[in-house]
Amino acid sequence: MGNVVLYLAMSVDGYIADEQGGVDWLGGDGSQPDAPGSYPSFYKTVDAIVMGWSTYHQIVTQLSPNSWPYEGRPCYVVTHRQEAAREGICFWKGELTALTNKLKAECAGNVWICGGASVAGQLLKEGRIDRLWLSVIPVVLGKGIRLFPELPHPLPLKLVKTQQYNGIVDLIYEKRGRAF
């Protein structure tokens, strides 16, 4: 059985995108420009990817319009749009929790919650995130798209690892105490 992992970058003040949804601020401080960061080793542990429509659309239109960056990994795009499946990409119209339960049962490795805020927020509210892996980018945006929604109760976490590279700090948490 795999783990559902929210692996995202965010600003110091908790935003995952600027007001227009842009992410051109993602990057380190230049102190270690050749540092590979945590992504390559994390990606090796991923068996399936889940993302919302906005994240998918941003990837295929802005971030990587000429090639799909997750080739070889099944990707599920949560949407209400009528889209035909493409090789390696399934457009999921069902319940998000049903999808994560299904993938968690089928996968031995990680189920990566790749974005965005709506998908992450729903899963946090439902207690479906096993691990939060947050890469804190050295920038304060002041406004934008927040990662964390208002929640009905606190989510107790246990810090299991930290790492830093190029001014970025990765904070890796797991559930603590009561389940989310």
> What is the average pLDDT across 53-59?
95
pLDDT at 180: 45
For 31-42, the pLDDT digits (tens) are: 999 999 999 999
**Residue 177 banded pLDDT, cuts 50, 70, 90:** low
**Phi, psi (5° rounding) for residue 69?**
-75, -10
Share of the chain above pLDDT 90, in %: 85
Measured distance CA(137)–CA(60) in Å, rounded:
23
Residue 178 scores a pLDDT above 80: no
pLDDT at 173: 97
For 103-127, the pLDDT digits (tens) are: 999 999 999 999 889 999 999 998 8
Strand order in the sheet with 89-92: 89-92, 75-78, 46-52, 110-115, 3-11, 131-137, 168-175, 157-165
Which pTM was predicted? Answer: 0.93
**Residue 145 banded pLDDT, cuts 50, 70, 90:** very high
Share of the chain above pLDDT 70, in %: 98
Measured distance CA(18)–CA(86) in Å, rounded:
29
pLDDT at 84: 87
**Residue 26 banded pLDDT, cuts 50, 70, 90:** very high
Residue 141 scores a pLDDT above 70: yes
Average pLDDT of the chain is: 94
Half-sphere exposure of 60 (CA within 13 A, CB side): 11
